[in-house]
Amino acid sequence: MTGHTTRRAMLVRSIGLLGGAAIVNFGEGTFNAAPAEAAVLTTQQTNANRAVDAYKALQKYFYVQDGTSLYRETYPWNRRAAATSTTTTTRG
């Protein structure tokens, strides 16, 4: 065996897995049989969920609502400190 899988072999294995999944689903619907354990999230799905949560927090706490599509650098935002930091620039 050369160690690489052909497209045909992958199709045959996939069909076998799908057939097994269909039988399990049929059994659940017909006999009210539930799987023993809930499906565990994959690492990829967990990371995707974290990314969505981080983006929502970014939008909620850091997004500037003035139409510029910018984000603040810190939270909580201090309006007085932000005004003084932008007006006290020195030119040499």
Tens digits of residue pLDDT in 39-69 = 788 999 999 999 999 999 999 999 988 888 8
Per-residue 3-state assignment (H helix, E strand, C coil) for the chain: CCCCCCHHHHHHHHHHHHHHHHHHHHHHHHHCCCCCCCCCCCHHHHHHHHHHHHHHHHHHHCECCCCCCCECCCCCCCHHHHHHHHHCCCCC
Residue 74 pLDDT:
86
Is the pLDDT assigned to residue 21 strictly greater than 50? yes
CA 37/CA 17 separation, integer angstroms: 19
Domain map (residue ranges) of the chain: 7-32+40-87
Task: Give the rounded percent of residues in the chain with a pLDDT score beyond 90.
Answer: 24
pTM given for the model: 0.42
